[in-house]
């Protein structure tokens, strides 16, 4: 991986535990960090974000090497991992903090995100109208340390074993067949 050529993308697709876990095992991803973005409160805590009053979404900041994995491939993974037709929720996780959102840094990224949404809509994977929000990136607040790698540290926790684990297994099968996973898995 070329450390001098790394780029970042930040988006939210529901609970960050499963999104982070999946992106961290993709070839070309240096890191996926759980955090908060899109709100009005500085230094938010998990408890504050869970109230829905901070305006923040649970997000993941992905640092990647575009010579190994493209922005478009990352978007394909993003739309695989969550249902972009559910407004302010993913499954039983309900609230604006679970909204589908892509943050862009400039007009080129905004255009790429718009194209990714159209491509995903045209695929027919999800029925319904996409509600994925596009927003200019302002600030990323890393989540508390215990959220980083949460699934790997807590696979038997009830939410992890019933929701996150099955999603990760489905992800591993699909993207493993596409040879997009780290070979050490």
Catalytic positions, written as ranges:
15
Name the DSSP class of 167: H
Cβ contact 59:36 at 8 Å: yes
| SS3 state at 112 | helix
Contact between residue 16 and residue 164 where contact means Cβ atoms under 8 Å apart:
no
Distance from C-alpha of 173 to C-alpha of 57, rounded to nearest angstrom: 28
Query: What's the Cα-to-Cα distance from 61 to each of 7, 141, 142, 157, rounded to whole Å?
Result: 10, 10, 9, 24
């Amino acid at each position: 991986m070329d450390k001098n050529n790394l780029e970042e993308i930040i988006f939210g697709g529901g609970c960050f535990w499963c999104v982070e876990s999946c992106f961290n095992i993709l070839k070309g991803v240096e890191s996926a960090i759980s955090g908060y973005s899109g709100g009005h409160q500085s230094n938010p805590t998990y408890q504050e974000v869970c109230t829905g009053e901070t305006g923040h979404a649970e997000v993941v900041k992905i640092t990647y090497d575009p010579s190994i994995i493209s922005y478009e491939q990352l978007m394909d993974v993003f739309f695989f991992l969550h249902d972009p037709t559910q407004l302010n929720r993913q499954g039983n996780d309900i609230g604006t903090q679970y909204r589908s959102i892509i943050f862009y840094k400039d007009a080129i990224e905004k255009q790429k995100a718009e194209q990714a949404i159209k491509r995903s809509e045209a695929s027919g994977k999800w029925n319904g109208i996409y509600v994925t929000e596009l927003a200019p990136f302002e600030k990323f607040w890393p989540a508390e340390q215990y959220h980083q790698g949460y699934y790997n540290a807590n696979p038997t926790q009830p939410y992890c074993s019933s929701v996150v684990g099955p999603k990760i297994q489905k992800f591993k099968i699909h993207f493993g067949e596409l040879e997009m996973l780290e070979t050490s898995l």
